[in-house]
Structure 1
Amino acid sequence: MKRCTLGLPHAHRVMNRSSNGTVRIYWYRTRGGEQIGKFVGASYAEAIALETAGAQEVIAAYARKPERPEANAATLRGVIVRYKASPTGFLRLADKTKVNWRRSLDLIDAKFGNLTTKAVSAKGVKKAMIAWRDGFKDTPRQADAHMTVLKRLLSWAVENEEIEKNPIERVEGIYKSNRAALIVEPDALEAILERATPEAQLAIRFAAATGVRREDLCEIEWSFLRENHLLFPTNKSSGRKIVRVPLLGEAWAVVEELKKQREQAIAEGRVPSAFMFVTDRKTPWKPDSLTQAFARAAKAAGVVGRRLNDLRGTAITKFVVAGFDNDTIADIVGWEVTRVANIRKHYVDSWNVAERLMQQLERSRQTG
């Protein structure tokens, strides 16, 4: 079913799906202006059908004199419009981040757009914003993501003297994860590699040896390779941060294998990819495809509770064993020093203690 087009000059239409699956369509007099229509359906088709049936009501609301919460009063909707246009706000985000934040900003606009900037600091607003966040509790990570956007929006508004204070500045998230100290242990990694495709094996081995983020791994180009390290702009920073990743042992072994494949392709008259890690179709890996390849291999190997991202912890154990200090490792993988220390304590130090105990037991057995 085609979307409803009403031909209203400057009118703005927003459509999104809520956490419970319902589809909502909002009409505004202008982008950032007064809401003049709202339609909620169990599906896209139903929402659009309701919108089509209520088109005349939207047109009538558009024709009426604009309503304002208070004469010349600024609203949160206006703040959103200015935030989206600000080089210190929305415009400084990475393109991928913008896609996700737009969805959240549309939801915030729909819920709190008519709230005046003076009212943001009023008693009860904080509670209302927390209740809105909790409306997405069935998907806690998404709920926290929406709240993060709202927090940042309000902080930007404070910085730019749009509002006096951010009422949710210290509100904590509802998503709890205990993955900070998880790694893929050597025996589990070996089992996963045995069941992964040859192309996935190379990427997984490299990730376990370097701690490179999934998105960066998929975008590593041959031009990033130096004598004994990689030098590249990170995806997460939109290229603003350049990282240097040392290529030790296994990481260099993977590079050598990839070099041989590249040389063979050239010898056979084929044009090799500019990217180091490619699929069996010789196209660069997509982040989600690599995650799925890892998940399939882990499932086939009977490895439960481990994700592709946990290979970053595995790499940290290798850097620790190689003699790197926590600060250096944190800089390489982009983690906080405390998280690196946690990996060191949970695994490497524990392994060393266990090894010493085994040696002592063996000596005791030999001396009788």
Structure 2
Amino acid sequence: MVSVVLKGVVKVTAKGRTYYYAWRGGPRLDGKPGSPEFIASFNEAVASRRTADDGKIRGLVAHYRASPAFTGLAPTTRKIWTRWLDRVVERFGDYRVGLFDHPEKIRPIIKRWRDTWADRPRSADYAIQVLSRVMTHAVDLDRISANPCEGIKSLYEVDRAETIWSDDDLAAFKAEASPEVWRGVLLASLTGFRAEDLRRLSWNHIGEFEITIPTSKSRGGRSAFVPLYDALRDALKDMPRRSTTVLTNEKGRPWKDGPNGSGFRAAREAALPGRDLHFHDLRGTFATRAHLAGLSNREIAELLAWDEARVDRIIRRYVGRRAIAEGMILKLNRNAARTGSAKP
């Protein structure tokens, strides 16, 4: 007998009996799984749902999930957005798409939904971000004339411009971290690579003069590279070759730790209590060092695979004013020493 996998079917066991539903919250299916009766009831449920949902938000979200705008996202982004798309359907699934073409009516409802996460501003902003992307999809389909989420202010405001890892921070972290976690943090500070790219970094990506790796953020469309300057070359020499990947765990398998790893969090909390440092701030730390070393914004954009048109804004975000001022002071002092105008 050929088994047929029906996507979305939900199995529920209650009081010793098992029931099957076409989807979570959907109609109950008849017959046993795999039987003609079961398949027929499933197809009937799906057909009726498509007809009923065609003009509703749940139908729009389903269309968005199948579109290149969603399938083209990085895997980690799709995983996170899937949860938020489910929440959009849970709250607005039965709303007619046309209602979202009347911002004066729908915006207050959207804001109240957002405010259910008022105690978690970042979550609240994520809710608006994902809903806004669905509304943009509706605009692209000519279902509505404008995105009603545009102009809704963010609740989470944070300036991480000055949030970089100092040499003392790195030394304190090294003292508490396992060798495997420390190597990941060290390479991040020396290359500016994202955690996902560091996990994929293999010895084959390392050339005679530079490291070049297609970035996960661009799905391989762009590559980040960094020259093998002395500090980076020395760090790589100390890395044990236990796998095809540069970073490994204690068993010699590819490294899986990073921003959300228990090893990273535990070492950070032990070494840097009260310091709001993130793994991603190591990217800004590298940008700061590159800027202070005299690299131009164009060169930094090339190293980090950033869009050159946006590099000035990104540098201002990551490179603190104090760091910029210190770099200017060094340059001015060097110039004064060359011209003989420096004071004894």
Q: Same fold (TM over 0.5)?
A: yes
Is the contact between residue 278 and residue 284 of structure 1 (CA under 8 Å) also seen in structure 2? yes
Counterpart of 2:169? 188
- 1:112 is displaced (CA, Å) by 0.9
Instruction: For residue 232 of structure 1, give the secondary structure of its aligned residue in structure 2.
Output: strand
Counterpart of 2:243? 273
Q: Percent identity?
A: 30
Give, as a single letter, the amino acid of the residue that structure 1 aligns with 2:284: G
Deviation readout 1:112-156 (Å, 9 max, x if unpaired): 111112211123201111111111222221221121111001101
Task: Say whether residues 1:90 and 2:70 are aligned partners.
Answer: yes
Give, as a single letter, the amino acid of the residue that structure 2 aligns with 1:116: R
Aligned length: 302
Instruction: For residue 213 of structure 2, give the secondary structure of its aligned residue in structure 1.
Output: strand
Cα 1:252–1:116 change in 2 (3 A) is same
Counterpart of 1:12? 23
Counterpart of 1:309? 280
Partner of residue 293 from structure 1, selected from 229, 241, 263: 263
- 1:103 is displaced (CA, Å) by 1.2
Cα 1:331–1:130 change in 2 (3 A) is farther
What CA distance in whole angstroms lies between the structure 2 residues aligned with 1:68 and 1:213? Answer: 40
Return 299-308 or 160-169, whichever deviates more.
299-308
What CA distance in whole angstroms lies between the structure 1 residues aligned with 2:223 and 2:168? Answer: 33
What CA distance in whole angstroms lies between the structure 2 residues aligned with 1:329 and 1:79? Answer: 40
- 1:167 is displaced (CA, Å) by 0.7
What CA distance in whole angstroms lies between the structure 1 residues aligned with 2:325 and 2:105? Answer: 49
* TM-score, normalisation: structure 1: 0.72
Q: How does 1:23-102 map to 2 (within 5 A)?
A: 27-28=25-26, 74-87=55-68, 89-102=69-82
Give, as a single letter, the amino acid of the residue that structure 2 aligns with 1:312: R
Partner of residue 3 from structure 1, selected from 12, 37, 40: 12
Counterpart of 1:111? 91
Counterpart of 1:350? 325
- 1:184 is displaced (CA, Å) by 0.7
- For structure 1, list consecutive stretches of 5 or more residues without a partner in the other structure: 14-26, 31-58, 263-271, 361-365
Q: Tell me the C-alpha RMSD between the 2 structures.
A: 3.3
Cα 1:114–1:179 change in 2 (3 A) is same
* TM-score, normalisation: structure 2: 0.76
Q: How does 1:215-254 map to 2 (within 5 A)?
A: 215-254=196-235
What CA distance in whole angstroms lies between the structure 2 residues aligned with 1:29 and 1:197? Answer: 51
Counterpart of 2:187? 206
Task: Say whether residues 1:197 and 2:168 are aligned partners.
Answer: no
Deviation readout 1:27-52 (Å, 9 max, x if unpaired): 1359xxxxxxxxxxxxxxxxxxxxxx
- For structure 2, list consecutive stretches of 5 or more residues without a partner in the other structure: 1-10, 29-40, 337-342
- 1:332 is displaced (CA, Å) by 2.5
Instruction: For residue 230 of structure 1, give the secondary structure of its aligned residue in structure 2.
Output: strand
Counterpart of 1:170? 151
Give, as a single letter, the amino acid of the residue that structure 1 aligns with 2:282: L
Deviation readout 1:136-184 (Å, 9 max, x if unpaired): 2222212211211110011011012122221112222211222233111
Give, as a single letter, the amino acid of the residue that structure 2 aligns with 1:285: W
Cα 1:74–1:321 change in 2 (3 A) is same
Cα 1:158–1:220 change in 2 (3 A) is same
Deviation readout 1:206-256 (Å, 9 max, x if unpaired): 111111112211221111112222211222223232222223222111112
- 1:110 is displaced (CA, Å) by 1.4
